[in-house]
Amino acid sequence: RKVPIHSKLTWLLEKERNGADQLVWSTFQPEGTRKSGTGDASKLFGAWKRAAGFTSRRFTFHSARKNFVSQLEQKGVHQSEVARVVGHEAGFTFGVYSPQGLNLVRLKEIVELVEYPEVVSPGHG
């Protein structure tokens, strides 16, 4: 699955990579029946938040996803589009008649609707 990176997170791509189709975090290990790296994502997020000084157990990888989805809902993004961005099923109609999903241009427009004014990219002000 391809998901565009929010413009405030483009610094993640400034490291050396092996090609345009490589994972941002190539150390993610496929796991579970879907062979996804979400367990690794949760572990890495936990390590990052502790290193950044966050001690609350309420601020988790999935609470960040919840905030992301909530912002998109408040901005009026259709549920099927939000589902495509976060990796959920698009529903019967779009899943059957539009299995290719949204193009990257539309996905990028959706991701950019999320606002985090307090986030400052490392090394970018």
Tell me: the pLDDT tens digits for 86-102? 888 878 888 788 888 88
> Which pLDDT belongs to residue 21?
59
Find the mean pLDDT for residues 12-23.
60
The Cα 70–Cα 79 span in angstroms is 11
Angle between helices 38-51 and 61-74 (to 10 degrees): 100
| Greater pLDDT, 64 or 85 | 85
Residue 89 contacts residue 83 (beta carbons within 8 Å):
yes
> Which pLDDT belongs to residue 46?
78
User: Alpha carbon 67 to chain centroid distance?
Assistant: 11
> Which pLDDT belongs to residue 52?
72
**What counts of helices (H) and strands (E) characterise the chain?**
5, 0
> pLDDT confidence of 65, banded at 50, 70, 90?
confident
